[in-house]
């Protein structure tokens, strides 16, 4: 394994794009094995920590590289996650969840400085990770029912979270819960807890068994009278990006979706890399007139098509990230930022799904052998791209263009 120089944080996230490019080449060597086993990518996460990439998780006052206007670095952050996902996409998704939660905890005022110091030491010295046990099996999104009851010295929580990306390799979870005495989070009952996943009463059910993103360890988590000490829980109104996602000034939705698009885009680039490698190293007997498949005009045409789709989607995502920066600096219409993001995400999904979906069409029947695991790119892209509806985004884009109807301000637009 080639040694990657650990970057000492100085200015911005941009200096870490090169680190991510090197990790991409490392991760792709074992990505098929990671997919086959479905086990948490411990070695990949260790390498992220060793190279200093954790610096993109922290504000500068905590030794990181993210400035006081955090989304100024969004274009570089997106590039980093495209590179990581091109190498191994479960790793990228896990790290993105950890990154977002870590930055929010350390940039907001919800936790005491003493608690932050302890957590910072655990992350930077012990490679502790944070996951997000948020989703619950309810018909209405964000209708949290996991209960939170005040007890001496803290609160106690009870309930089940059915999806928690990265929980199988995380030390902590940041979970939304419903405070005792409230009927819903909409009525003011939203509360947040930082919970140790090895605490008494916490059960990681290890029931993640999925078609794609198999190594994300996105199992369900059960909380049975779990004690959360004071200093590790806070009101949902305590600030941070999660406090009011429907505000016209809050762009946390577009920001998170741009990084999601970057990960999906990386899956497409990974598929293209794997496709080209396979084509260079194998011969298809159905094309005997060419010396090798790299000289086949049909193959060349389709490789050019995939490359163009991916490049266009990457350009759209960069433009979306820049629209966020312009909004931060100059204000303007939030709808323009939202539509730029939706253009980028739809383009990323189309490019990744087309490239991954047609891989075997070019590579031939032998490429379907399970030893290659080349179908993982389609499975991964299909899985993550269904996080929220692509069709809804297309409809909202069209509605804005035709009638000036602005997309709603929320978690995904």
Which pLDDT value is given to residue 248?
65
Rounded mean pLDDT, 248-259 = 91
pLDDT at 214 over 60: yes
pLDDT at 179 over 80: yes
pLDDT at 191 over 50: yes
Of 47-61, 92-106, 143-157, 224-238, which gets the smallest average pLDDT? 224-238
Containing 87, the helix (H) or strand (E) segment is helix 74-87
Answer for the pair 136, 159: CB distance below 8 angstroms, yes or no: yes
**CA 412 to CA 408: how far, in whole Å?**
9
CB neighbours (10 Å) of residue 150? 14
Which pLDDT value is given to residue 70?
78
* 320-337 confidence digits (pLDDT tens): 999 999 999 999 999 999
**CA 324 to CA 250: how far, in whole Å?**
11
pLDDT at 288 over 90: no
Nearest residue to 322 via CA among 152, 91, 79 = 79
Q: Which residues pair with 192 in a beta bridge?
A: 176, 234
Q: pLDDT tier at 239 (50, 70, 90 boundaries)?
A: very low
Please give the backbone phi and psi of residue 223, each rounded to the nearest 5 degrees, phi first. -115, 120
Alpha helices in 223-367 (DSSP H): 252-281, 297-330, 334-357, 359-363
* 63-74 confidence digits (pLDDT tens): 999 987 879 999
Strand ranges (DSSP E) for 9-138? 130-131
**CA 411 to CA 413: how far, in whole Å?**
6
Q: pLDDT tier at 143 (50, 70, 90 boundaries)?
A: confident
**CA 122 to CA 100: how far, in whole Å?**
17
Nearby residues of 383 by Cβ (< 8 Å), 6 or more positions away: 210, 211, 212, 213
| Structure-block tokens of residue 176 | 């939304």
pLDDT at 9 over 70: no
Beta strand 172-179 with 147-151 is parallel
Answer for the pair 265, 314: CB distance below 8 angstroms, yes or no: yes
3-state helix, strand, coil in the chain (%, to 5): 55, 10, 35
Which pLDDT value is given to residue 241?
43
Answer for the pair 183, 189: CB distance below 8 angstroms, yes or no: yes
Answer for the pair 87, 28: CB distance below 8 angstroms, yes or no: yes
Angle at 21 between CA 304 and CA 53, to 5 degrees: 150
Residue with tokens 């990230």: 321
Which pLDDT value is given to residue 68?
77
Angle at 231 between CA 140 and CA 238, to 5 degrees: 50
Of 172-186, 232-246, 344-358, 386-400, which gets the smallest average pLDDT? 232-246
**CA 49 to CA 126: how far, in whole Å?**
9
| Structure-block tokens of residue 329 | 């600096």
Containing 402, the helix (H) or strand (E) segment is helix 390-403
Which pLDDT value is given to residue 5?
56
Count of CA atoms in the C-beta half-sphere (13 A) of 184 = 7
Residue with tokens 């939304």: 176
Nearest residue to 23 via CA among 54, 52, 44 = 44
Residue with tokens 């059915």: 162
Give pTM, 2 decimals: 0.94
Answer for the pair 244, 329: CB distance below 8 angstroms, yes or no: no
Residue with tokens 């000036």: 404
Mean pLDDT for the chain? Answer: 93
**What percent of the chain has a predicted confidence (pLDDT) above 90?**
82
Question: In which region does residue 239 sit, left (phi positive, over 0), alpha (psi from -120 to 50) or beta (all else)?
Answer: left
List, in order of start, the domains of the chain with CATH numbers. Answer: 13-108 (1.10.540.10), 147-235 (2.40.110.10), 252-403 (1.20.140.10)
Containing 124, the helix (H) or strand (E) segment is helix 113-126
pLDDT at 206 over 90: yes
């Amino acid at each position: 394994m080639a040694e990657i120089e650990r970057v000492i944080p100085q200015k911005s996230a941009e200096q870490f794009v090169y680190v991510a490019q090197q990790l991409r080449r490392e991760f792709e060597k074992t990505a098929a094995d990671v997919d086959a086993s479905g086990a948490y990518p411990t070695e990949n996460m260790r390498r992220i920590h060793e190279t200093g990439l954790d610096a993109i998780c922290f504000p500068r006052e905590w030794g990181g590289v993210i400035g006081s206007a955090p989304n100024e670095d969004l274009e570089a952050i997106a590039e980093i996650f495209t590179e990581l996902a091109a190498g191994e996409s479960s790793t990228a998704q896990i790290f993105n969840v950890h990154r977002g939660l870590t930055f929010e905890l350390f940039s907001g005022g919800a936790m005491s400085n003493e608690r932050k110091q302890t957590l910072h030491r655990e992350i930077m010295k012990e490679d502790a990770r944070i996951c997000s046990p948020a989703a619950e099996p309810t018909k209405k999104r964000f209708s949290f029912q996991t209960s939170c009851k005040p007890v001496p010295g803290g609160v106690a929580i009870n309930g089940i979270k059915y999806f928690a990306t990265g929980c199988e390799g995380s030390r902590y979870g940041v979970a939304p819960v419903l405070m005792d005495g409230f009927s819903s989070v909409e009525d003011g009952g939203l509360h947040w807890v930082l919970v140790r996943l090895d605490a008494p009463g916490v059960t990681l059910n290890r029931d993640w068994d999925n078609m794609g993103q198999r190594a994300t360890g996105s199992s369900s988590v059960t909380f049975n009278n779990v004690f959360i000490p004071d200093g590790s829980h806070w009101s949902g109104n305590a600030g941070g990006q999660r406090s009011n996602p429907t505000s016209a000034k809050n762009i946390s939705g577009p920001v998170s979706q741009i990084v999601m698009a970057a990960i999906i885009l990386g899956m497409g680039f990974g598929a293209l890399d794997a496709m080209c490698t396979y084509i260079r190293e194998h011969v298809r007997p159905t094309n005997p007139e060419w010396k090798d498949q790299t000289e086949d005009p049909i193959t060349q045409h389709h490789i050019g098509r995939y490359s163009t789709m991916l490049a266009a989607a990457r350009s759209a995502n960069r433009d979306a990230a820049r629209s966020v920066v312009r909004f931060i600096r100059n204000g303007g219409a939030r709808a323009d930022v939202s539509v730029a993001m939706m253009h980028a995400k739809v383009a990323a999904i189309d490019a990744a799904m087309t490239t991954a979906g047609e891989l075997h069409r070019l590579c031939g029947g032998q490429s379907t052998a399970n030893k290659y695991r080349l179908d993982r790119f389609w499975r991964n892209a299909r899985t993550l791209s269904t996080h929220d509806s692509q069709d809804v985004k297309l409809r909202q884009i069209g509605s804005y263009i035709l009638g000036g109807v602005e997309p709603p301000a929320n978690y995904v637009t």
